[in-house]
Structure 1
Amino acid sequence: MIWLVNIYTFLIGLSRAFYTALFNLYLKDNQISNQIIGNATFYYSWGLAIGGFLFASLSDRIGRKKTILLTMPIYSLFGLLRLSNVTVIGWLYVVSFFFGFFDTSIIMPTISVIENSDEKKRLRNSNINFAIVLLTGVIGYFGAGLFAKSIGIFLTLVLSMVIALLSTIPVFAFPNVKLSKRKPKKETLTLTQKTMLIYYLASGALVSLAAGVFINFGNVIFLDLFGFSTVAITNVLAISQLSTAATSLFSHKLTAKYGYKFTLFLVYLGVTILIFMMPIFVLNPFVFSLAYVLRYVLINISTPMYMVFCLSYLPRTSLATYSGLSYFLNNVMRASSAQLFASLSKGGTTNYAQLFFVSGSFYFVNTLITLLAFYVTYKLSTKEAVVTNDKTVNHEKNGRRTNSSVNRNYLTSSALRKRRNRKASVHLHMPSSRIIPNSRKWKGK
């Protein structure tokens, strides 16, 4: 199953890279202003938000395979319609919304990889899938520049939608998952799980709001600030993807050595500092390009860490729902960043210094709530560990202690039991049905 998902990821990733790299430049070639480009991205992001949430929930009922086969042909159709009559602003906004609404190319592979991997291979499989996404970005961005130069931007964009349609071929080989018709029991989350769910949603939303400027308008930024050619812009984007793909293959070693929490905190702090320094880097196109690549690498290698770490706390039966909710919030925030870009582009020019300051502020807030969330989960786990010890003592005194009574409520490995008196584990409280990454190795506890 995983290799089929990876093939689909490769093809759809190639299509997305072509389209993402060139569509805004296609609008600029048609004399469309930054304000209108920002508004079109705003409607596209709202389509992503609403459609992603609805189709993630639908996929829980009809399966991932049927959801992809339903949405991707319609997505390809609206991708082609989006290329026509771009000077008719109302039309551009409407087709942009529906293009985003049927775009399930990101959320479906992510859910499929996480739910079809066991606890030992979950991060590795996520990193491999994410590296494929980045690799297709490298090939797609380089290819987009070359194809645009040889056959033109319009035909290259048409080609990208043909590839998107072809990406459904391996999906036909996906197994037909027989979904249970029984209504799942309502699960009660622990305080630590609730804290992590809130952090998962809030952090994803803040990063999307901060990064949306670079995700949606990176090509426009290079064109406006330095007058880069299409080939030069796509080369910078490709180098960003290539660097991230290379480093993401080894990011799990950082989490193995320093733990998820410490690594995530340092990455977010580093990105925050970089963004605040962007107005200085603008003075030199090479330095700015280097800083852009570094920011891209840092924030993207943190994505699989953040997702695996947060979702590992939560019930498997609700992964798609939580992912869909996060996807919705993230795209609402990207829509907000698009609106911010449009509001700062009135009068024909964009105030990039102010844009970088606002983006950096959101990264800074995300860094603070990351630190706060990790502190709260640590305190909660310590408190619950004490309660666990008290209950264990009472069971022993009453002669009623059984292995099942312990395992039903807490995951306590032999290694953790040996270390209980010395160090409280962040995940000591978790039920045995949860999938826990290498939490014990965070040196920041």
Structure 2
Amino acid sequence: MAIANRIIFFTLINGISGNIYQVLFNLYLKDLGYHNDIIGNVMSFNLWGSAVLGLIIGILADRIGRKRVLFIVQPLVIFFAIMRLFPSNLTLLYFFSFFFGGFNASIRLLTDVFLVESTSHGNRAKYFGINFGVNMLTGVLGNSIGGFLGDFFGFRKVMFFAMLLRSFALVPILNLKEKRNVKFKKVKLDDFQKKIFTFYIFSTASVGFGAGLFIHFGNVIFYDLFSMSATFIGFILAFAQLGTSIGSAFSHKIGKRFGAAKALMLSNITVPLLILMLAFVREPISFTTIYISRFTIMNMVNPIFNTLVLSYLPSNILAASTGLRNFANNASRAFASMLFSILATSNSGYTTIFLISSVFYFTNGILMFVFYKTIGGKDKKFYS
């Protein structure tokens, strides 16, 4: 089986189990009696781990091998995920969340690097789209299954068995071989590569802060605003990821039809308007429809952005580059989560949260317009 296909199967198993865990964890903390300020702090530690450890592991993977690092990280993710289910005090809960977040984020950046190295210019956009689509599909399955089973069998028990399932994700890549032995050496980027990478980091940081204010707390938001059950919340989040799964699986066709950079620009201009609507709409069906639309439009073009940027960067710094982007993303989300813990103490706080988020998304929309002008048609070779 082709390396890219093996990675996609890894994503499938890893994602289903991870999303079952994710949709229930904040609700589990609510069930234990923790309030939004504590839940926001837990997520902040999770994201700081993603930022710091993700960067370190990305650099380490470039030096000692991506597969070796992946096989070390995966068991650690499972271990710290289980440890978070038995918090004897807040200090340990924060500690376990930091390491869980760090190792969990590292898996995504390592699979992105494997995809870059196992594909060519001609099929890279297609495989990135399929892998991201499968990742979103696992959200559909994980969120719907997790919410349903959690209501019937208990949150902790379902999350525990989800992590046991996650250990089988390594099976499809047991015999995976890295395409090349990447040696670490000093790399100098040309002017165009520097511009592209700068957009990559600043766009990521802007979106990261805007998203960090609410995206990790979707289950909490629906619970607080509309008193929904775990089953219903799971299905709403599943629908959001279903739309993204379908859209991202065909993102290479969107890029070919409209132009990759243009598709990025249009989606990033539309999304801030939807977030602005979330600040004021409080009718459940309308709010849910807008929430799902925002999630779908924003995330379906993510494979396009990754394909463009990573294809222009030198091969021997890919893991470090994605690690740096991961740092920018999760550090900004960590700060935003801390702000969530302050603002989300009442229903009216969500209006302020979405207003602030829309400002950062509008900023990113401007960045994507400049990015579109900078690319200047150089994205065509990925969609020929």
Does TM, scored on the shorter chain, surpass 0.5? yes
| Equivalent residue, structure 2, for 1:100 | 101
Correspondence for 1:353 among 336, 351, 354: 351
**Alpha-carbon deviation of 1:318?**
2.0
Q: 1:75-103: CA deviations, max 9, x gaps?
A: 111111101126x2112111111111222
Mapped contact 1:40–1:92 kept (Cα < 8 A): yes
Unaligned runs of 5+ in 2: none
Q: 1:325-374: CA deviations, max 9, x gaps?
A: 1011111011111111012135x666000000010000000011111233
In 2, Cα distance between the equivalents of 1:316 and 1:436?
18
**Alpha-carbon deviation of 1:198?**
0.3
Which of 311-320 and 16-25 deviates more?
311-320
In 2, Cα distance between the equivalents of 1:16 and 1:256?
32
**Alpha-carbon deviation of 1:218?**
0.4
In 2, Cα distance between the equivalents of 1:176 and 1:189?
24
Secondary structure at the aligned position of 2:279 is classed as: helix
CA separation of 1:286/1:368 partners in 2, compared to 1, >3 Å: closer, same or farther? same
| Equivalent residue, structure 2, for 1:339 | 338
Q: Which amino acid aligns with 1:91?
A: L
TM-score (norm 2): 0.94
In 2, Cα distance between the equivalents of 1:189 and 1:69?
31
Q: Does 2:88 align with 1:81?
A: no
Q: 1:278-327: CA deviations, max 9, x gaps?
A: 12322x10000000110010011111011111222222222222111101
Mapped contact 1:74–1:102 kept (Cα < 8 A): yes
Mapped contact 1:312–1:436 kept (Cα < 8 A): no
| Equivalent residue, structure 2, for 1:363 | 361
**Alpha-carbon deviation of 1:170?**
2.5
Mapped contact 2:204–2:329 kept (Cα < 8 A): yes
Q: How many residues align?
A: 381
| Equivalent residue, structure 2, for 1:194 | 194
In 1, Cα distance between the equivalents of 2:190 and 2:375?
11
**Alpha-carbon deviation of 1:251?**
2.3
Secondary structure at the aligned position of 1:119 is classed as: coil
In 1, Cα distance between the equivalents of 2:256 and 2:86?
50
Superposition map of 1:207-226 within 5 A: 207-226=207-226
CA separation of 1:313/1:180 partners in 2, compared to 1, >3 Å: closer, same or farther? closer
In 2, Cα distance between the equivalents of 1:252 and 1:56?
26
RMSD of aligned residue pairs (Cα, Å):
1.9
Mapped contact 1:12–1:105 kept (Cα < 8 A): no
Aligned-residue sequence identity (percent) comes to 33
CA separation of 1:178/1:113 partners in 2, compared to 1, >3 Å: closer, same or farther? closer
Superposition map of 1:137-156 within 5 A: 137-156=139-158
| Equivalent residue, structure 2, for 1:303 | 302
| Equivalent residue, structure 2, for 1:166 | 168
Which of 352-361 and 164-173 deviates more?
164-173
Mapped contact 2:214–2:353 kept (Cα < 8 A): no
In 2, Cα distance between the equivalents of 1:190 and 1:180?
20
Superposition map of 1:16-165 within 5 A: 16-85=18-87, 88-103=89-104, 104-165=106-167
More helix by share: 2
Mapped contact 1:65–1:172 kept (Cα < 8 A): no
Secondary structure at the aligned position of 1:167 is classed as: helix
Superposition map of 1:167-182 within 5 A: 167-175=169-177, 179-181=181-183
Unaligned runs of 5+ in 1: 379-424, 428-434, 440-445
**Alpha-carbon deviation of 1:157?**
0.7
Mapped contact 1:69–1:171 kept (Cα < 8 A): no
Q: Which amino acid aligns with 1:28?
A: K
**Alpha-carbon deviation of 1:179?**
2.3
| Equivalent residue, structure 2, for 1:244 | 244
User: Between Structure 1 and Structure 2, whose CA radius of gyration is higher?
Assistant: 1
Mapped contact 2:148–2:230 kept (Cα < 8 A): no
Which of 299-308 and 94-103 deviates more?
94-103
CA separation of 1:65/1:26 partners in 2, compared to 1, >3 Å: closer, same or farther? same
In 1, Cα distance between the equivalents of 2:4 and 2:277?
40
| Equivalent residue, structure 2, for 1:260 | 260
Q: Which amino acid aligns with 1:210?
A: G
Q: Which amino acid aligns with 1:95?
A: F
Mapped contact 1:127–1:304 kept (Cα < 8 A): yes
Secondary structure at the aligned position of 1:106 is classed as: helix
CA separation of 1:31/1:305 partners in 2, compared to 1, >3 Å: closer, same or farther? same
